[in-house]
Amino acid sequence: MSEQIIILGSGPAGLTAAIYASRAGLSPIVLSGNLPGGLLTQTSTVENFPGFPEFIEGFDLMERMKAQAKKLGAKLLFKNATAVELSQDGGPHVVRFASGEPLSSRALIIATGSRPRELGGPGEAELRNRGVSYCATCDGPLYRGKDVVVVGGGDTALEEALYLAGLAKSVTLVHRRDAFRASQAMVDRVLSSSIHISWNSTVHEIHDPAAGRVTSVTLRNTQDGSLTDLPCDAVFLAVGHLPDTALFAGQLNLEPDGSIHLANPPSTATSVPGVFAAGDCADPVYRQAINAAAAGCRAAMDASRWLQSLPLSPTKKEESTMATQIQHLDLENFEDFLKKGTVLVDFWAPWCGPCRMQGQILAELAEEENFHGNIGKVNVDEARDIAVKYNIMSIPTLIVFKNGEPDKVLVGLQDSEVVKDALK
């Protein structure tokens, strides 16, 4: 049986759509995606979302949206779609997970957002999560007292540089032009700070993959082509975003930049009947949380109106009971925990938004009736010796241990299907 509506993505667009769809009695299913809460969870202080005169942390704002959606009846699943089958006849549309398990719905709202743009130069891929990061609020505290580089010239880059300036020994902001494109307020704050700016520069290469960590960057001057080596311990890339729409290529009409084509704006309807799109995945211009939320509202209303003439039969799903206990690990009990056979250890910290999301995903996995794995959590701030022993350079990091030895390492936020596959 099909759900009435599935929402792909849990950022401002997806959760706002869930709120409106819930109030319309549509019992929406929200799939969290690769980054539950969206990119806003990686933002520090949000100053421009209406209703918060004292400002609010991005992670906290998304937690409030999620709580509101759940209170109204939305069902949130910490899962990531790996394939979709869109019916050109108006449904049902099928979403599949890594396990191959299908979930279908009459209407589908795509709110998959965007993903960080990569530089694509030497050393970037090899050193990702080894000093190359796309999220200062996630990984910045791991480089306290270190020398770091931030690449970019927009609001995100400047915000990350300012955040890191309160943690790192030094911050160098690399920008390819001689003027920032960020808001004037943000520019003024950076220019009056201790941040060093390398104007008219690009990152030519990141060193050193052979060392397994970032040791320096080679900068190229855009005016004369000269190369300069700059020692550093981490590189934070903030050079824009790309719409996260690869899953729909060949099934939906896409714009040249990869964003989803909307058939008749301001309607959120796409080229496929019963499929709607909202947020950064369909907005190459504004890319603001408030715009995404507004688009999510429109998408839910559009989907509701589209569904009105169709026979609706929502599926009721039973709640399962807790089958696995998640254990807090420290130096005293870590070795004993590894003796349990195949175990999963989550390296995290309370200041890391994605870590808290990972914790929720693992808690939901533990509640699945047919899951009986052993899960432990190591707070890297409290058990730094364990983190150092296993060379934890980015969090969250999940390590599967077999017979006391590391077997698989998963760096970054992972959905439940990936975790279950790793434990097989």
- DSSP H or E run through 289: helix 289-307
Give the pLDDT score at 307. Answer: 87
The DSSP call for residue 53 is: T
The domain that holds 93 is classified in CATH as 3.50.50.60
- Give the Cα separation of 312 and 4 in Å (integer): 7
Question: Do 36 and 84 fall into the same domain?
Answer: yes
Listed as own residue / partner, the contacts of 303-307 with beta carbons closer than 8 Å and 24 or more positions apart are 303/5, 303/17, 303/21, 303/26, 303/107, 303/109, 303/274, 303/276, 304/20, 304/21, 304/24, 304/26, 306/107, 306/269, 306/273, 306/274, 306/276, 307/4, 307/5, 307/26, 307/106, 307/107
Q: Out of 307, 336, 360, pick the residue that ends a domain.
A: 307
Q: Which helix (H) or strand (E) holds 241?
A: strand 241-243
Q: Does an H or E element contain 114, and which? A: strand 114-116
Query: What is the DSSP annotation of 27-43?
Result: --EEE--SSTT-GGGG-
Asked whether residue 320 is assigned to any structural domain, the reply reads no
Q: Give the domain extent around 336.
A: 326-422
| Per-run averaged pLDDT (10 residues), the chain, 424 residues | 86 96 90 82 79 89 94 91 89 87 92 91 92 86 93 92 94 96 92 96 96 96 96 94 92 94 94 95 87 95 84 37 71 93 92 81 82 90 92 93 94 86 86
Say what the pLDDT of residue 320 is: 36
Neighbours of 122 (CB within 10 A): 15
Report d(CA 375, CA 359) in Å as an integer: 11
Do 42 and 89 lie in a common domain? yes
Tokens of 213: 């960590």
Are 341 and 28 a contacting pair, CB within 8 Å? Answer: no
Which residues fall within 8 angstroms of residue 361, CB to CB, at 6 or more apart?
A: 32, 36, 78, 413, 414, 415, 416, 419
Q: Report cis status (omega within 30 of 0) of the bond before 208.
A: yes
Q: Are residues 80 and 185 in the same domain?
A: no
- Kindly state whether residues 107 and 256 are assigned to the same domain: yes
Claim to verify: residue 187 and residue 233 sit in the same structural domain: yes
Q: How far apart are CA 254 and CA 249, in angstroms?
A: 7
Q: CA distances (Å), 295 to each of 17, 77, 209, in order?
A: 8, 22, 42
Position 360 in a domain: yes
Same domain for 202 and 164? yes
User: β-pairing, 275-277 with 326-329?
Assistant: unpaired
Q: How far is CA 18 from CA 45, 69, 80, 163, 240, in A?
A: 24, 6, 17, 32, 27
Catalytic positions, please? 135, 138-139
Q: Which of 177, 210, 237 is the last residue of a domain?
A: 237
> Which of these three, 219, 237, 255, is where a domain ends?
237
Backbone Cα Rg of the chain: 22
Residues 184 and 230 in one domain: yes
State the total domains in the chain.
3
DSSP for residue 25: T
Place of tokens 């060392």: 211
Task: Give pTM, 2 decimals.
Answer: 0.70
Burial group, residue 100, by CB count within 10 angstroms (0-12, 13-18, 19+): exposed
pLDDT value, residue 324: 58
